[in-house]
């Protein structure tokens, strides 16, 4: 069901603040065994390029892409952090995840100030957010910009400003089916119509926030070419991310998507996005 060379656009590994299923080198080896082509390594706390570089050196047979999440731990909406991350080679920059005010679930850490928003009281984009967008737009190579855990109002405003800037920035809507995201299928369709990509992510299914059948309906509405497949796995109680990606793909086919559509989400579209970041 999963094509050789498939890519998981969103995985977690140790070292991390929390226990993870695998360290990054073990994860890379498991990806090779599962015939994955690569994965995007994410952390809520730091730039993952040093971890990814170590794993690439030890396990050269899989493409390991790094990223940074602009949470308070790197200064929030911090254009300097984004600029450094781009310089070090990240493929993706996620806007705030665990530090976003929209992330209303329990945060399993004691840090304060986890209430970042992109808009001021008048609904206008904050200057520091615009500065991050300008940093990404003006980079000398493409970088995928993920909306992290920001809410729908923030996301619409960011897409508006990117349009106003004339910026050709690939924008990825992170796990839109997660309950706390507050996104409807109509929101997802609207985002895709404006050129954004949708992450079809296994973790919301495992948590009970959505079903694969519901995701399948959205994929059909927006087109598989506008979606990327991911697990968001790495938690000790979940499957190994490569196993999870295989299972997720199988469940999509059982729900009625063709193997070609799954290959588009798991290989073609993520490969195109990530190849442009090299």
pLDDT at residue number 27: 98
Global pTM reads 0.97
In a domain, 1, yes or no: no
Judged by DSSP in three states, 38 sits in: strand
User: Do the Cβ atoms of 153 and 187 come closer than 8 Å?
Assistant: no
pLDDT at residue number 106: 83
d(CA 72, CA 90): 19
User: Do the Cβ atoms of 126 and 102 come closer than 8 Å?
Assistant: no
In a domain, 186, yes or no: yes
In sequence order, the 6+-apart residues with CB closer than 8 A to the CB of 160 are: none
d(CA 55, CA 213): 35
In a domain, 175, yes or no: yes
Long-range contact list for 179-185, CB < 8 A, 24+ apart?
179/204, 179/207, 179/209, 180/102, 180/103, 180/104, 180/105, 180/149, 181/102, 181/149, 181/151, 181/152, 182/102, 182/151, 182/152, 183/152, 183/155, 185/214, 185/217, 185/218, 185/221
What are the respective helix, strand and coil percentages of the chain, to the nearest 5? Answer: 45, 15, 40
Closest by Cα among 187, 204, 171 to 273: 171
pLDDT at residue number 1: 80
d(CA 82, CA 75): 10
User: Do the Cβ atoms of 157 and 181 come closer than 8 Å?
Assistant: no
In a domain, 2, yes or no: no
pLDDT at residue number 26: 98
pLDDT at residue number 110: 84
pLDDT at residue number 48: 98
pLDDT at residue number 75: 98
For each of the chain's 278 residues, which pLDDT tens digit applies?
A: 899 999 999 999 999 999 999 999 999 999 999 999 999 999 999 999 999 999 999 999 999 999 999 999 999 999 999 999 999 999 999 999 999 999 998 877 889 999 999 999 999 999 999 999 999 999 999 999 999 999 999 999 999 999 999 999 999 999 999 999 999 999 999 999 999 999 999 999 999 999 999 999 999 999 999 999 999 999 999 999 999 999 999 999 999 999 999 999 999 999 999 999 98
Number of domains in the chain: 1
d(CA 117, CA 102): 8
Domain that holds residue 59: 7-275
Bond before 7 cis per omega within 30 degrees: no
Domain containing residue 205: CATH number = 3.20.20.140
């Amino acid at each position: 069901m999963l094509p050789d060379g498939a890519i998981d656009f969103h995985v977690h590994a140790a070292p991390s603040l929390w226990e993870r299923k695998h360290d990054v080198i073990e994860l890379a080896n498991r990806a090779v065994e599962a015939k994955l082509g690569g994965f995007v390594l994410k952390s809520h706390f730091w730039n993952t390029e040093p971890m990814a570089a170590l794993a690439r050196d030890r396990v050269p047979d899989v493409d390991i892409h790094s990223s940074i999440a602009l949470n308070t731990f790197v200064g929030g909406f911090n254009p300097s952090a984004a600029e450094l991350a781009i310089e070090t080679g990240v493929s993706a920059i996620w806007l705030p995840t665990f530090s976003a005010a929209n992330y209303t679930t329990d945060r399993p850490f004691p840090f304060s100030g986890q209430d970042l928003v992109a808009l001021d009281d008048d609904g206008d984009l904050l200057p520091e957010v615009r500065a991050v967008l300008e940093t990404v737009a003006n980079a000398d190579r493409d970088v995928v910009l993920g909306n992290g855990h920001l809410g729908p109002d923030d996301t619409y405003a960011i897409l508006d400003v990117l349009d106003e800037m004339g910026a050709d920035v690939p924008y990825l809507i992170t796990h839109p089916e997660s309950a706390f995201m507050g996104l409807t299928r109509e929101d997802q369709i609207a985002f895709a119509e404006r050129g954004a990509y949708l992450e079809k992510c296994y973790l919301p299914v495992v948590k009970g926030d959505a079903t694969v059948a519901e995701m399948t309906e959205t994929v059909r509405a927006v087109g598989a070419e506008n979606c990327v497949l991911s697990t968001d796995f790495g938690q000790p109680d979940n499957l190994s991310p490569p196993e999870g990606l295989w299972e997720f793909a199988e469940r999509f086919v059982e729900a009625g998507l063709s193997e070609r559509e799954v290959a588009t989400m798991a290989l073609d579209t993520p490969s195109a996005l990530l190849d442009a970041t090299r």
